[in-house]
């Protein structure tokens, strides 16, 4: 359940007919009007999770909580994520929001879009609303060229923050990260086991910390392959379908028989470009994605990918921020989560007739 900084002003709980208010809340929460009434009147006999669902519905639908219930509000926690066109970010938002709501907090979702509200503007909105903490997913902390001062200022004022995917030195906070280096080792090893030696890597702009780590992991995993120019087999582009397609054309032109994409969205672009180039996947070109987001098992062919532990990372982020809100001593460090290779049908043994094949 989500509210946003642009939510309508609160309506008093007494506004309108009691029946209409009860009906709104009952419909939203999926419980009876009688149960909603018991919660609003602070009566016993209601499960804690149901009580919290009704209280959260009051916040989300814009009703003011009755004064007797305001003391039970755990408060608001901001959640700042990038645009939602990449399906991994809705997964993070859903996982974090579910965990926060279960703990009695109301998540305030702030979604960045190109040309839209800036992260710093969202932060100010959240501070104006008195949030108890903020969780950032792939925010400016992931951009190695962006200033970290925006985060150090939040810490200086004592606000708990958690930063997901993008470690930066100098920020006294908890970091939750996908293991990007291990991801590349898994993907490269899989393709090498299938006989591929000219393996390309399609990724986003090089200023991002996860990109830098994956490029380092790719080079490390490929160091035993002789006679391969890794510079021409790494393509930095946009984290989009179009970026993946552009990278695929460049990497195929460089002789790649297998391509690792930094995300599933980019992998879809690789699949599109392969078709446009008259290449069959996996017979002519093997493709590995990243994240294992929704529906990747249902594309044609089903995508081999490296799964990100979104559920575990979301739980860890919420646990860290709630512990700090509760005043517990939290070790501010980076926690990395292991990837998992998910084998499907977009990868296959390299064709023996391929000139890049040597020995196996």
Q: What is the pLDDT of residues 54-85, one digit of tens each?
A: 887 887 787 877 766 654 446 899 999 998 88
CA nearest to 306, candidates 338, 282, 265, 339:
339
Compute the distance between CA of residue 207 and CA of residue 205 in angstroms, rounded to an integer: 6
pLDDT, one tens digit per residue, over 289-345 is 999 999 999 999 999 999 999 999 999 999 999 999 989 988 899 999 999 999 999
Q: Is 54 helix (H, G, I), strand (E, B) or coil?
A: helix
Q: Is residue 359 part of a domain?
A: no
Domain that holds residue 90: 76-179+309-339
Instruction: Indicate if 192 and 172 belong to the same structural domain.
Output: no
Instruction: Indicate if 194 and 171 belong to the same structural domain.
Output: no
Compute the distance between CA of residue 43 and CA of residue 148 in angstroms, rounded to an integer: 47
Strand order in the sheet with 304-307: 234-236, 199-203, 258-261, 286-291, 304-307, 340-342
Instruction: Indicate if 170 and 316 belong to the same structural domain.
Output: yes
Instruction: Indicate if 188 and 292 belong to the same structural domain.
Output: yes
Greatest Cα pair distance in the chain = 80
Q: Is residue 360 part of a domain?
A: no
The domain boundary residue, chosen from 264, 287, 308: 308
- State pTM to two decimals: 0.79
pLDDT value, residue 354? 55
Q: Is residue 225 part of a domain?
A: yes
Compute the distance between CA of residue 137 and CA of residue 117 in angstroms, rounded to an integer: 16
Instruction: Indicate if 172 and 313 belong to the same structural domain.
Output: yes
What's 62's domain CATH number? 1.10.260.40
Query: How many domains is the chain built from?
Result: 3
Ramachandran class of 173: left when φ > 0, alpha when ψ lies in -120 to 50, beta otherwise: beta
Instruction: Indicate if 247 and 201 belong to the same structural domain.
Output: yes
Q: Is residue 246 part of a domain?
A: yes
Instruction: Indicate if 259 and 197 belong to the same structural domain.
Output: yes
Strands 106-111 and 234-236: unpaired
Q: Is residue 118 part of a domain?
A: yes
Instruction: Indicate if 185 and 260 belong to the same structural domain.
Output: yes
- Name every residue whose Cβ is closer than 8 Å to that of residue 103 and which is 6 or more positions away in sequence: 74, 318, 322
Q: Is residue 80 part of a domain?
A: yes
pLDDT value, residue 256? 98
CA nearest to 206, candidates 234, 177, 176, 170:
234
Instruction: Indicate if 175 and 319 belong to the same structural domain.
Output: yes
CA nearest to 61, candidates 22, 112, 102, 100:
22
Rg (CA), the chain: 24
The domain boundary residue, chosen from 289, 308, 327: 308
Q: Which residues of the chain have pLDDT under 70?
A: 1-19, 67-74, 352-360
What's 278's domain CATH number? 3.40.50.2300
Instruction: Indicate if 196 and 301 belong to the same structural domain.
Output: yes
Instruction: Indicate if 194 and 282 belong to the same structural domain.
Output: yes
- 266 token code pair: 């980019």
pLDDT value, residue 53? 83
Instruction: Indicate if 110 and 35 belong to the same structural domain.
Output: no
pLDDT value, residue 311? 96
Compute the distance between CA of residue 206 and CA of residue 353 in angstroms, rounded to an integer: 35
pLDDT value, residue 68? 65
Q: Is residue 356 part of a domain?
A: no
Q: Is residue 150 part of a domain?
A: yes
């Amino acid at each position: 359940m989500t509210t946003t900084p642009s939510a309508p002003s609160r309506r008093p709980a007494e506004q309108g007919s009691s029946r209409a208010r009860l009906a709104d809340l009952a419909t939203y929460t999926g419980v009876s009007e009688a149960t909603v009434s018991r919660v609003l009147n602070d009566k016993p006999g209601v499960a804690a999770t149901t009580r919290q669902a009704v209280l959260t519905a009051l916040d989300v639908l814009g009703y003011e909580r009755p004064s007797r219930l305001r003391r039970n509000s755990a408060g608001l926690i901001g959640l700042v994520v990038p645009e939602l066109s990449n399906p991994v970010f809705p997964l993070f938002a859903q996982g974090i929001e579910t965990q926060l709501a279960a703990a009695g907090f109301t998540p305030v979702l702030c979604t960045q879009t190109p040309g839209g509200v800036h992260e710093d503007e969202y932060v100010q909105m959240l501070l104006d609303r008195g949030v108890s903490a903020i969780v950032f997913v792939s925010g400016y902390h992931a951009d190695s060229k962006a200033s970290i001062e925006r985060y150090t200022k939040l810490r200086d004022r004592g606000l708990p923050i958690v930063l997901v995917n993008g470690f930066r030195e100098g920020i006294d906070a908890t970091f939750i990260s996908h293991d990007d280096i291990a991801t590349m080792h898994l993907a490269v090893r899989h393709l090498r086991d299938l006989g591929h030696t000219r393996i390309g890597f399609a990724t986003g702009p090089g200023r991002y910390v996860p990109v830098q780590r994956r490029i380092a992991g790719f080079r490390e995993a490929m160091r035993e392959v002789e006679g391969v120019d890794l510079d021409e087999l790494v393509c930095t582009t946009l984290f989009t379908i179009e970026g993946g397609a552009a990278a695929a054309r460049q990497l195929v032109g460089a002789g790649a028989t297998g391509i690792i994409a930094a995300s599933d969205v980019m992998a879809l672009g690789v699949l599109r470009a392969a078709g446009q180039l008259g290449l069959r996947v996996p017979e002519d070109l093997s493709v590995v994605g990243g994240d294992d987001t929704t529906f990747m098992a249902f594309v044609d062919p089903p995508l081999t990918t490296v799964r990100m532990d979104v559920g575990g990372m979301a739980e860890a982020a919420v646990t860290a921020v709630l512990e700090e809100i509760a005043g517990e001593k939290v070790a501010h460090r980076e926690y990395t989560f292991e990837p998992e290779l998910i084998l499907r049908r977009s990868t296959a043994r390299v064709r023996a007739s391929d000139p890049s094949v040597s020995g196996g």
